[in-house]
Structure 1
């Protein structure tokens, strides 16, 4: 017998999974907490499995819930794309897009293509660190966002995975100094705890040369040979160099996932913008290795 899933239940499930809270999900969906809880229970009854377990004060996905989440996202995305294609409505209104500082330039082609295709949508760009943007999606302050996570802990839709690399200025020996001079974009940057944790594990002392929300200012200190930094490989400017961690005596850094985070209820404009993001960013960065000088 053919059975159909209730997309409203699935949308509620995804909202709870993303926020880790019935209360937050209720606010995002404009529902009561009781209604959200009831919908989750109904979905669990239909699927005949437990989707969430409570640990301390936070809800976490069960093993079956984790397996279901990826397919639930695919189902919702396909549903939203079908609606957008079949209704063929002219998009209008405003769209708040979140993006980490280092991904503004890579996101530019998607913004340009979307703006040309939908001139009646007013785009507002919200630049912040990944932890801040993750919270902004959960609280409804942005309509969609790119967020960087350590690959093993990625949330949302993974657009691309690439390595986090050490970066220095041309001819600079800053990487040899101890304590190691570091220049990081922001103290809340997603890279910072990973970088500092890796240095601590290797017993390498470090000092902060500069911290700012301005990525160009950070790049300037690296170009001047005052410090090293850590960036995603594809975002390293052509006039800077990446360091082979092993040869430089620095700890290896993990790969990061560039993820697309959307709220459970997605605006048509956000769904269309997400499509442009997938088309421009989902492929592996090309030409990066050839244009970057590396110290082997």
Structure 2
């Protein structure tokens, strides 16, 4: 066989090897429907993300995304790739963890807002506990501003918080709509002044919600602010008030209210991961990895 033929065959075989970085970028863009948001999550420039998607499309010889009025959406080829891409990433990350992880023990203190403890972080904490049974996990629940203050003081080892998109130095794990929430077929949103139930006066959404109402010329009154999400949920469920939550955290038995109901549009928020400025413990770094992987995977969302 000629040397040139051998090189040609070798190059053809090399093209069949996926670059995990390109696959990870592809899934981030597919999940977010935006190269800009994916770039922020991956700590890349929008141009770098665009180039990586182009490289992957060139490798496969097909377009993976197309643009419509709502942003980027997957082509038929992109839909076919996405499921396999997720499986490839999971296998890659599992192999890496299995081959590199050390025995971790000790304790780790995680700060989480009340509304993210359940469906959002429960599966992540379960997988971490199963993988590292020698680590004792402590949860500290408070509002996002309070958790950032606790991290600064060193009373917690890491935290997941809700912050207005683009206004944080934390690691962006997910970007979501902040939405109005009311009782099924309720009428609270029609009342003047608008009755609002917030979990606490330090709630991360509070200033954004009140600013939106002020800009819209809408009067309001607070019904409940006492740091208890169950009580907030109860006031909304019984149609005593409305509230504002991230779309993915809205319970199925409550309604997401739209601007058609006369309520002002709310800003986009990010779920961000924060580690201490100094050295984090091995158990905190490993928990951060689990959180990162868990929240960057697609979750059941109430967003349409």
TM, length-normalised to structure 1? 0.67
Question: 1:79: which partner in 2?
Answer: none
Q: Is the 8 A contact 1:160 1:284 kept in 2?
A: no
- How many Å apart are 1:191 and its aligned residue? 0.3
Find the counterpart in structure 2 of residue 196 from structure 1: 210
Match for residue 9 of structure 1?
A: none
Q: Partner residue of 2:265?
A: 252
Tell me, yes or no, if structure 1 residue 243 matches structure 2 residue 257. yes
Q: Which residue among 85, 101, 111 is the counterpart of 2:125?
A: 111
- Are the counterparts in 1 of residues 249 and 301 from structure 2 also a CA contact under 8 Å? no
The DSSP-based 3-state class of the residue aligned with 1:182 is: strand
The number of residue pairs the alignment matches comes to: 210
User: Structure 1 pair 277/211, CA: closer, same or farther in 2 (3 Å)?
Assistant: same
User: Quick one: distance in 2 between partners of 1:84 and 1:280?
Assistant: 14
Which residue in 2 is equivalent to 1:263? 276
Q: Indicate the residue corresponding to 2:157 in structure 1.
A: 143
Q: Give, in whole Å, the separation in 2 of the partners of 1:194 and 1:287.
A: 21
SS at match of 2:223: strand
Alignment of 1:122-137 (within 5 A): 122-137=136-151
Describe the superposition over 1:258-282 as per-residue Cα deviations: whole angstroms up to 9, x where unpaired.
0000013111111111111112111
1:182-219 deviation line (CA, Å, top 9, x unaligned): 00000000100110111111111101111121111100
| 2:280 partner SS | coil
Matched, 1:277 2:291: yes
| C-alpha spacing 1:263/1:153, structure 2 compared with 1 (3 Å) | same
Deviation at 1:250, TM superposition (A): 1.1
Structural mapping, 1:47-196, within 5 Å: 88-105=101-118, 106-196=120-210
CA RMSD of aligned residues (A): 2.0
Q: Which runs of 5+ in 2 are unaligned?
A: 1-39, 45-95
Long gaps (5+) in structure 1? 1-66, 72-82, 291-296
| Contact 1:84–1:268 (8 Å) recurs in 2 | no
- Give a deviation string over 1:80-135, Cα, whole Å, max 9, x none: xxx98876421111100000011001111111000011111111100010001111
2:235: which partner in 1? Answer: 221
1:206-248 Cα offsets, whole Å, 9 max, x none, are 0111112111110000000100000000000000000112x11
TM, length-normalised to structure 2: 0.66
2:200–2:225 contact (8 Å) kept in structure 1? yes
**Is 2:195–2:222's contact at 8 Å kept on the other side of the alignment?**
yes
Contact kept? 1:98, 1:144, Cα under 8 Å: yes
CA distance in 1, matches of 2:141, 2:275: 16
1:136 offset after TM fit, Å?
A: 1.5
Match of 1:205 among 216, 219, 234: 219
Q: Distance in 1 between matches of 2:239 and 2:97?
A: 50
- Decide whether the 8 Å contact of 1:167 with 1:242 is kept in 2: yes
Q: 4+ runs of 1 displaced by more than 6 Å?
A: 83-87
